[in-house]
Amino acid sequence: MPKGNVKIFGGFSFPKKITVVSNKFRSLAKYNSDTQKIETTVKPLSDFQKKLINTVWLPRTLRNPILVYGLMWFALFGSMESSTVSLVRLISTVSFFTLGFWFISKRIAKWHGAEHMTIEAYLTEGDTSTEGIKKYSPINKRCGGRFLLPWLMVVVVFNFLNLGNWFITLGIVTILELDRFIPMHKVPVFRQASYLLQKYITTKEPNERELLTAQKAMLLLIEAHEELEQKQQKSL
């Protein structure tokens, strides 16, 4: 079966929600526990969003914590540095990661796994059937989790060197930018760290509910592209 024609940039997952993003649209599939039905919506990307994902694709589940982390430290301490500030920052970072991993493992892992499997099935074979999706692993080398070890390394090392908030933020931004030229999943230590992180914490084999939700998100995205193409052909 041929690869999918829609250019998929990635996706992100929350409890009972899966989003898939292409170069033109963003689709959301949400499982309603009360009705036991899957609700879907699709929205076109703004021009700004299109330019942003073409520059650097960073899933919201990773982008938002980075922004919150950076803003929190600037708000609390600004450029102030001391051994106490460094220690507090290090402890808070480790706690942040620990709580985040616990939440993902308990609430999101199956949804995250279904998202990976569905996107990979479409990108590899153009397959959107549940049978086809089930053939793929919930572990994916392009997962945004590949940034987490580099991010943690920057915070820990820069803390020991007693470098300030500006340097830490700059280091994190540099890692994100470097991924465009030297993908983190091609660096052995980061690839292995991402694999272990996904295998034991951030992804799990999904059940039918998670698979169907991810499938709906993908089908809706493909449908939006097909409708856009039909409109463009009619306007010619």
Mean residue pLDDT across the chain:
81
Q: Are 23 and 9 in contact (CB under 8 A)?
A: yes
pLDDT at 77: 55
Which residues lie below 8 Å from residue 64, measured CB to CB, with a gap of 6+? none
Q: Name the phi and psi angles at 19, rounded to 5.
A: -120, 140
pLDDT at 38: 98
Enclosing H/E stretch for 25: strand 25-32
CB atoms within 10 A of CB 200: 12
pLDDT at 72: 62
- Residues lower than pLDDT 50 in the chain: 1
- Provide, for the chain, the percentages of residues in helix, strand and coil under a 3-state DSSP scheme, each rounded to the nearest 5: 65, 10, 25
pLDDT at 221: 97
pLDDT at 163: 62
Distance (Å, whole) CA 66 – CA 23: 23
pLDDT at 1: 46
Q: Are 17 and 8 in contact (CB under 8 A)?
A: no
Residue 11, beta-bridge partner list: 20
pLDDT tens-digit profile of 90-148? 677 777 777 777 777 788 999 999 999 999 999 999 999 999 999 999 999 888 777 77
